[in-house]
């Protein structure tokens, strides 16, 4: 009898769900488009990950290729360039995180404090626009600005009495140029979600703080930041999930033989060895190792956030 009741409730719940879906079928049709995209380009390719454990042959196919286990993982871990590539990837990602994550938050807080609506809209537009420039255009601008002969950076240095520097040919400058240009391009766009979160903060909290004599800076510290803290935590967790993805396209375009000491990351190494070198199984193993690190970091950071705060992805 209890099982019959549970079965009946389950059937009624399914009927109610189907009724709600039929009433809002337009929304589910819109949802179907990104779901199809993710299934096609994100989940279906997981099938090919098995070539990381096989001696992949185009003629034999994925299923027909010989199983070799962890051979290519061991080859990568024991190679002399393993630690250099890992350090370049991790250091560039950490540099981008430390510089790129807090700046959009600060920009959103500043924009939120602007009282003049026209000026506020102008600042927002100016900071948003660079996001819509392609990576190719950004790298082209970098090469023009840092040109040792006619670039604006070296021209200013010349006026100040300093010698011209070949910035893009020096490995020591690569990460700084990469991160600073990345922050400039994306800080406005990244601040949008924080501005939206700030608009949801209860205005009476600001009024209460003002009545208590809190300065504008103290209102930001004690009202604005706590109000958007859940959003900050969620976005931080998501960014940690892409920790090892250091911006392959831009790194590849900025890379040259003179700066590979700092610019060779896992992404460019996989491209060079896999696409150009044709070592598909080896680079699949390297890429899988990279993805496992990202997934592990995501689980760890989410678990820590869930224990210490009330905000987490799940």
Cβ count within 10 A of residue 188 = 22
Is there a single domain that holds both residue 17 and residue 117? no
Within 8 A by CB and 6+ apart from 107, the residues are 127, 187, 188, 191
Same domain? 36 vs 103: no
pLDDT at 191: 92
For residue 258 the two structure tokens come to 């003179």
- Residue 92 is predicted with a pLDDT of 92
The answer to whether residues 247 and 225 belong to one domain is yes
Pure H helices in 160-222: 171-190, 192-199, 203-211, 216-219
In a domain? residue 152: yes
CB-side exposure of 101: number of CA atoms within 13 Å? 18
Residue 59 to residue 53: CA distance in whole angstroms: 17
37 and 87 part of one domain: no
Q: Which residue has the tokens 């080859």?
A: 75
Asked if residue 98 and residue 13 are part of one domain, the reply reads: no
Pick from 10, 39, 67: which residue ends a domain? 67
Which distant-in-sequence residues (6+ apart) come within 8 Å of 245 by Cβ? 93, 267, 290, 294
Residues 103 and 10 in one domain: no
Question: Exposure pattern of 140-171 as b/e (b: 16+ CB <10 Å)?
Answer: eebeebbbeeebebbeeeeeeeeeeeebbeee
Sign of CA pseudo-dihedral 40, 42, 48, 50? negative
Number of domains in the chain: 2
Domain boundary among 36, 67, 98: 67
Write out the two tokens for 138: 């950004």
* Residue 97 domain-assigned (yes or no): yes
Whether 215 is in a domain gets the answer yes
Residue 282 CA to residue 266 CA, distance in Å, equals: 12
Residue 75 lies inside a defined structural domain of this protein: no
Which one-letter DSSP state was computed for residue 133? S
> What pLDDT does 18 receive?
80
Residue 72 in any domain: the answer is no
Residues 14 and 57 in one domain: yes
Which residues lie across from 252 on neighbouring strands?
Answer: none
> Cα–Cα distance between 171 and 297 in angstroms, integer?
28
- Quick one: residue 128, left, alpha or beta (phi over 0 = left, psi -120 to 50 = alpha)? alpha
Residue 200 lies in a domain: yes
**pLDDT at residue 83, rounded to an integer:** 92
Q: With respect to residue 142, please indicate whether it lies within any of the assigned structural domains.
A: yes
Q: Which residues of the chain have pLDDT under 70?
A: 1-7, 9
Give the CATH number for residue 207: 1.10.3720.10
84 in the same domain as 6: no
**Cβ contact 205:221 at 8 Å:** no
* Residue 172 shares a structural domain with residue 30: no
Give yes or no: residues 87 and 226 share one domain. Answer: yes
Partners of residue 67 on adjacent β-strands: 54
Helix axes 2-23 and 25-38, enclosed angle (nearest 10)? 90
Gap between the Cα atoms of 168 and 177, Å rounded? 8
171 and 93 fall within a common domain: yes
Would you say residue 73 lies in a domain?
Answer: no
**pLDDT averaged over every residue in the chain:** 87
Q: Domain range spanning residue 18?
A: 2-67
* Token pair for 228: 């958007």
Q: Which of 16, 36, 67 is the last residue of a domain?
A: 67
19-41 tens-digit pLDDT = 887 888 888 888 888 889 888 88
Beta strands 65-67 and 54-57, pairing class: antiparallel
Q: Which residues pair with 55 in a beta bridge?
A: 66
Whether residues 156 and 11 fall in one domain: no
């Amino acid at each position: 009898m209890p099982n019959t009741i549970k079965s009946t409730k389950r059937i009624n719940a399914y009927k109610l769900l189907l009724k709600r879906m039929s009433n809002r079928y337009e929304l589910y049709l819109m949802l179907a488009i990104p779901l199809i995209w993710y299934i096609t380009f994100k989940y279906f390719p997981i099938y090919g990950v098995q070539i990381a454990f096989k001696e992949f042959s185009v003629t034999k196919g994925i299923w027909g290729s010989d199983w070799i286990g962890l051979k290519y993982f061991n080859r990568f871990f024991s190679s002399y360039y393993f630690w250099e590539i890992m350090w370049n990837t991790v250091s560039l990602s950490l540099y981008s995180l430390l510089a790129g994550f807090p700046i959009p938050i600060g920009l959103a807080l500043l924009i939120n404090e602007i009282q003049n609506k026209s000026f506020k809209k102008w600042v927002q537009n100016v900071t948003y626009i660079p996001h819509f420039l392609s990576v190719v255009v950004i790298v082209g601008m970098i090469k023009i600005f840092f040109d040792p002969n006619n670039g604006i950076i070296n021209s200013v240095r010349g006026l100040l009495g300093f010698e011209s520097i070949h910035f893009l040919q020096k490995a020591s400058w690569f990460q700084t140029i990469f991160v600073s240009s990345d922050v400039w391009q994306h800080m406005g766009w990244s601040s949008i979600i924080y501005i939206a979160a700030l608009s949801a903060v209860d205005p009476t909290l600001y009024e209460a703080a003002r009545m208590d004599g809190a300065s504008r800076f103290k209102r930001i510290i004690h009202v604005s930041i706590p109000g958007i803290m859940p959003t900050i935590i969620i976005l931080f967790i998501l960014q940690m999930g892409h920790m090892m993805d250091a911006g392959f396209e831009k790194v590849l375009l900025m890379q040259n033989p003179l700066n590979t000491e700092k610019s060779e990351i896992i992404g460019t190494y996989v491209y060079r060895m896999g696409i150009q070198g044709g070592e598909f199984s080896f680079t699949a193993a390297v890429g899988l190792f990279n993805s496992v690190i990202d997934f592990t970091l995501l689980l760890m950071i989410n678990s820590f956030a869930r224990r210490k705060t009330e905000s987490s992805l799940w």
